[in-house]
Copies of this chain bind each other. A is one copy, B any other.
Amino acid sequence: MSKTRPISGFPEWLPEEKLVEEELISKIREVYEAYGFTPIETPAVELLSTLLSESTATKEIYQVVRHAKDEPKEEGDLALHFDLTVPLARYVAQHYGALTFPFKRYQLQKVWRGERPQKGRFREFYQFDIDIIARDELPVACDAEVLTVLDKAFEVMAIGRHSLKLNNRKILMGFYEHLGLEEAKRSACIIAVDKFDKVGRDGVLKELLLHQVVGKVAERVLEIASLKLKPKEFEKGVAELKVDSKLFTSGVGEVRELLSLLPPQALERIEVDLGLARGLGYYTGTICEVRLNDFPEFGSAAGGGRYEDLASQFINQKLPGVGVSIGLTRLMDLILKNKLLAVGGKSPAKVLVTVYSEGERPKSNQLAETIRSYGVPTEVFFRAPKLGKQLDYAASKGIPFVVFINSETGVVEAKELATKEQVMVKDLAQWAKELKRS
């Protein structure tokens, strides 16, 4: 007998926790679909060559190899995807002719990072992404839609107040250009500024120094990075920077248009944070992140942005896109550790029908079937011991109602475990419908 032990970085939830995750998934999915995003799913596996062509961190890839290595290889090496963007790019290129553009998809799948085991780091986790991919040109209206949907998803999750941080890569790049930094240095600035939360002001200065960004220029890089503007302050804030750069002006214009297209509730939660950089190389315009107001140290709960060309490595067609990703597993971990949502019962069932004796089981089955037909999940106890044991089971699983058939009168009675209230059920349909609503 070998003892079981968890594998570090590969989380799994107890039934009552998984029910919370399912509820979140279903809420997010409903928002995504309400805006016409359609689900797709790609294999867990891509060709290793596909993943390596995009990855900036090849260390993080898990390869997949047959345990039986006795046969000649007939195809390329396989590996588990480390995000959902590379698979999306491959999918869009491969099925290009069968898709209608703009292609709006959502995708909920596990991704894998082949990291060393480290406390608090997930090596398998869910991402819940949306992207809009257009041909040739993608209006800012799409950036606004993605932000609106992301905001709404966090609203319906109801895990506490959140903020939306917004920036535009063109503003940063234009500003750095205005400072006279050549292109390689501009990218280095993005990467340095992105680490502000982790390494602080001095850390960023140190990193800038490595790239010969020093003195007054470094000071100004930090100055813009500390500028946080509410939508109303945006125009004045960027004007005061007095930047002479077409790129900068174009970025400012995009943010202006985006803000004009957001609904009021999203606008209230927006902060234009000129320190938001997001490390990933492929963003070219809008970048955004969701922060949870009560958990500043948690960092980004979701994020994304706009990219000029999704799939240039696969297809000779310009495909600009904009998308965001919710880090569902990390979020679930936070929710469970901080009890941000109530963890309820261990069963989807709302009713347990008891069994008086094995001879009466068919009657209990039939009653349960009737209750189910009204849309109420219902269990029948698996044996016929004394009633107390059956009530204990319902209590232990968090099934709120127990239903009996009175063995003498045949009348159906229902007991609510929380209140200990017991009632005769005269109209089963009515009773079930009320239960379903509650």
| B78 close to A7 (CB less than 8 A) | yes
| B38 close to A18 (CB less than 8 A) | yes
Interface flag for A131 (CB, 8 Å) = no
Q: List A28-65 residues whose CB lies under 8 Å from chain B.
A: 33-50, 53, 58-65
Tell me which residues across on chain B come within 8 A of A139, comparing CB atoms. Answer: 382-383
Interface flag for A338 (CB, 8 Å) = no
Interface flag for A94 (CB, 8 Å) = yes
| A114 close to B7 (CB less than 8 A) | no
Interface flag for A66 (CB, 8 Å) = yes
Q: List A393-411 residues whose CB lies under 8 Å from chain B.
A: 393, 396-397, 399
Tell me which residues across on chain B come within 8 A of A33, comparing CB atoms. Answer: 348-349, 377
Interface flag for A295 (CB, 8 Å) = no
Interface flag for A165 (CB, 8 Å) = no
Q: Give Cα distance in the complex from A105 to B11, angstroms.
A: 18
Chain B: which residue is nearest A58 at the CB level?
Answer: B67
Interface flag for A68 (CB, 8 Å) = yes
Interface flag for A74 (CB, 8 Å) = yes
Contact A124-B45, Cβ < 8 Å, known A4-B93, A61-B67, A362-B261: yes
| A67 close to B348 (CB less than 8 A) | no
Interface flag for A167 (CB, 8 Å) = no
Interface flag for A142 (CB, 8 Å) = yes
Contact A2-B314, Cβ < 8 Å, known A80-B64, A348-B37: yes
Interface flag for A100 (CB, 8 Å) = yes
A258-283 interface bits toward B, Cβ cutoff 8 Å, 1 = contact, 0 = none: 00110100000000000000000000
| A36 close to B347 (CB less than 8 A) | yes
| A42 close to B12 (CB less than 8 A) | yes
**Distance (Å) between the CB of A92 and the closest chain B CB?**
9
Q: Give Cα distance in the complex from A68 to B114, angstroms.
A: 8
Most buried by B among A4, A139, A261: A4
Chain B: which residue is nearest A138 at the CB level?
Answer: B382
**Distance (Å) between the CB of A355 and the closest chain B CB?**
8
| A41 close to B12 (CB less than 8 A) | yes
| A66 close to B68 (CB less than 8 A) | no
Interface flag for A220 (CB, 8 Å) = no
Q: Give Cα distance in the complex from A390 to B378, angstroms.
A: 47
Lowest 9 A-B CB distances belong to which pairs?
Answer: A36-B349, A36-B379, A10-B43, A61-B67, A66-B114, A59-B68, A33-B348, A4-B94, A100-B396
New A-B contacts (13) at CB < 8 Å, excluding given A10-B45, A44-B80, A132-B382? A1-B314, A3-B314, A14-B99, A35-B349, A39-B348, A62-B67, A63-B64, A63-B67, A64-B112, A100-B396, A260-B362, A261-B362, A263-B365
